[in-house]
Structure 1
Amino acid sequence: MRNATGPLRDQQHFRFAYVLPTGSSGRAVLEADGYPVYELPFVELSRRKADLLRYVPMLLLNGWRLYRLAQREKATIVHLNDFYNLTGYIARLLSLGQLQVVTHVRFLPQSLPQPFARTWRWLAERGASRVICVSEAVRRYFSAAVKIKVVYDPLPVAEEHPEPLHLPQADKTVQLLYLSNYIQGKGQDLALQAFQKAYVQNPQLRLRFVGGDMGMAKNRLFKQQLEDIVRQTGLHKVVQFAGFAEDVEAEIKKVDILLNFSESESFSLTCLDALYYGTPLIASDCGGPAELFENGKSGLLVPNRDVEAMAAAIVQLAANTGQRADFVKAGRAFVRQKFAPAHTYEALGNLYKEVLLATGK
């Protein structure tokens, strides 16, 4: 959202205020950009009894607080950046329909628990002025209503490092990067299985995992399980694990190939970043990534959860420097055309204008 609201604020004179979960690390970044920032103690649905008991009372209370914040900021639109955040609907009810809601669907609803997903879809289609889908893969979950729009996430603002030349490594190795937080379903386990098979055919391969655990015990356990597999298989000298990366561009640009074998992605900013920054990509056909490049021309798309196909793609691309060079050139050109401003933040600005025009403001 920050990549979109920046140019909209500067070029089209919209005014934005952000409301974040209490304690969010994003506050400092947004305040440094000059945005008013507020915090609310959002409670998400979970299996924990305490959260279930608190959910409805806190939803009502936070809806009231959001309504009051909208009044203070003289806001006309509340843009919900999460499909499952229902506080905007409460705020709209309290405003007697004066406050307009735009809801952004960033998850692939097909992969969520369907009793919840169908409820959230029903609310979005009836309670929101517009529903924004980050990809056609997400769009297919909804009805054909005019209010359902696809608006792609924008490209990074700029490149901060010189373009990579992707020359052969001094030690003749081929460096693979897996850039994602350690979360079950994000595909690190599939990547590790594929790497094991590919490494047998090409011992020059090297794999580096980069990501955080988001402070969650289950994510730390998942990472530990991956590390255990590496030790047990004797791959500890060729597979590395790193923590959260502050400089994503630098991480992407210093490797030969980026892998993304997530089991479900609505869009995938990681894949978009790889293409934008000019690093050859191998991604699984799990939703949004298929829309980000042309298979065989600007990257390789493999069937979802197909470890054999993943390993074959790694071996193929690692051995073909010419194809990697072609992917760099084609990928950079493709995303700069498809995700140009007219299709991303300008489309979002036009959507805001449609909503404002309908309200007479």
Structure 2
Amino acid sequence: MPDVSNILVIAPNFKRRLSGVTSTIVQLVPFQARTIPIATLGPGLPDSLPHIRWRDLPKLWRRPRGRPFRIWHARRNTEMLAGVFLRDVLRMPLKLLFTSAAQRHHTGWTRFLISRMDAVVATSERSRSYLKAPARVVMHGIDVERFSPDGEMPAGEAAAALAGRKIVGCSGRIRHQKGTDLFVEAMIALLPQHPNWSAVITGRVTADNRAFAAGLEDRIAAAGLNDRIRFVGEVDDIAAWFRRFDLYVAPPRNEGFGLTPLEAMASRTPVVASDAGAFAELIVEGVTGRVVPTGDSAALAAAIEPYLGDAELRARTADAGLQQVRSHFPLQREADELASVYEALWAS
């Protein structure tokens, strides 16, 4: 447990269930902690992260050692609201920073909360375009040591059943927003012409999406592809599956940022993605992969098909993607850029 008097940055996480924001905090904070005294606050985070407890909050009235105030780095409305309350009502020495990944027009309530922030970060140029406040773009990065071409391959019954097969992969919760149905439609159209390929879908099915998943399984069965389009559920080590995939497809209809294309490219796997999230800013069109319109299964299939029959294209694209991620999207780069945002706040 860190000494609160030394903590300079607090990263609250007010959502217990795993989400993209939570995943960002879990991956990023250990890199930030190498150079900045930072702690998390809230549920749903591993004990290995530096954290403070709710009962430590009164200690925030005291200024931290060596700085005039702490930085409260919020990523959700509830966390912005808590920061405003601590700073403006309880008069704690805090500056408020908000990171926005949303790619939609904000509600009036969200705009009000953003107006109360001392600084704003957007995770992409597209996200910044929806903000009514000045913002700096700091794009997410990934752990290029965890996601790399070198490492273990997936083990277990599902992996063994796919031995010797080429695999098109798709990862994420099984739901309409994630475009799982678009992937299934594309695979139903393509796999009969490519007998050495199979499709693997990783990710959990929540209770409210069981009917959606069952409908996809019915369509797969009707196409006679039960043995070639496989749902393997939530997996323990997704990095191993990214290494195993020969092509990765990210088809969501809506996304905040979306890390999976970067994770695939870092694993030396070519990518085809919809124009959701920050994908068009992550993928160099025709070089590290392809980007197609959202919601268009025919366009998705057309972009996928050349990769299924051309090993040289896959290799060339995979090499370019690996270089792109290692050069521009390591997690340490994100941590360093956020550190410069913090320093600018302290200098102000």
- Please list the CA deviations of residues 111-149 of structure 1 after superposition, one character each: whole Å capped at 9, or x if unmatched: xxx5x3x4313321x21111111111111101362xx11
Contact 1:151–1:343 (Cα < 8 Å) also in 2: no
**Mapping of residues 1-361 of structure 1, within 5 Å:** 1-10=25-34, 12=35, 14-21=36-43, 24=44, 26=45, 29=46, 31-33=47-49, 35-38=50-53, 68=58, 70-71=60-61, 74=64, 76-83=70-77, 85=79, 86-96=81-91, 98-110=93-105, 116=107, 118-124=108-114, 126-143=115-132, 145=134, 148-159=135-146, 163=150, 173-213=165-205, 216-340=206-330, 343-358=333-348
Q: Over the residues paired in the alignment, what is the CA RMSD in angstroms?
A: 2.8
Q: Which residue identity is paired with 2:27?
A: N
Q: Which residue identity is paired with 1:180?
A: G
- Partners of 1:200 and 1:159 in 2: how far apart? 34
- Partners of 2:62 and 2:148 in 1: how far apart? 41
Local SS of the residue matching 1:17: strand
List runs of 5+ in structure 2 lacking aligned partners. 1-24, 154-160
Relative distance call for 1:241 and 1:342 in structure 2 (3 A) is closer
Q: CA deviation at 1:171?
A: 7.3
Q: TM-score, normalised by structure 2?
A: 0.81
Q: Which residue identity is paired with 1:17?
A: A
Contact 1:186–1:263 (Cα < 8 Å) also in 2: yes
Contact 2:28–2:331 (Cα < 8 Å) also in 1: no
Give identity over the alignment, percent.
25
Q: CA deviation at 1:108?
A: 2.4
Local SS of the residue matching 2:260: helix
Local SS of the residue matching 1:6: helix
Q: Which residue identity is paired with 2:42?
A: L
- Please list the CA deviations of residues 61-117 of structure 1 after superposition, one character each: whole Å capped at 9, or x if unmatched: xxxx8953644895711111225542222222223373211111133234xxx5x3x
Q: Which residue identity is paired with 1:230?
A: I
- Partners of 2:258 and 2:283 in 1: how far apart? 12
- Size of the aligned set, in residue pairs, is 312
Q: Match of 2:16?
A: none
Q: CA deviation at 1:351?
A: 0.5
Q: TM-score, normalised by structure 1?
A: 0.78
Local SS of the residue matching 1:335: helix
- Please list the CA deviations of residues 165-192 of structure 1 after superposition, one character each: whole Å capped at 9, or x if unmatched: x9xx997643111111123210101101
Contact 2:248–2:271 (Cα < 8 Å) also in 1: yes
Q: CA deviation at 1:7?
A: 2.9
Local SS of the residue matching 2:174: coil
After TM superposition, which residue ranges in structure 1, 4 or more long, deviate above 4 angstroms?
Answer: 72-75, 169-172, 340-343
Relative distance call for 1:341 and 1:311 in structure 2 (3 A) is closer
- Partners of 2:271 and 2:197 in 1: how far apart? 15
Contact 1:89–1:127 (Cα < 8 Å) also in 2: yes
List runs of 5+ in structure 1 lacking aligned partners. 40-64
Q: Match of 2:158?
A: none
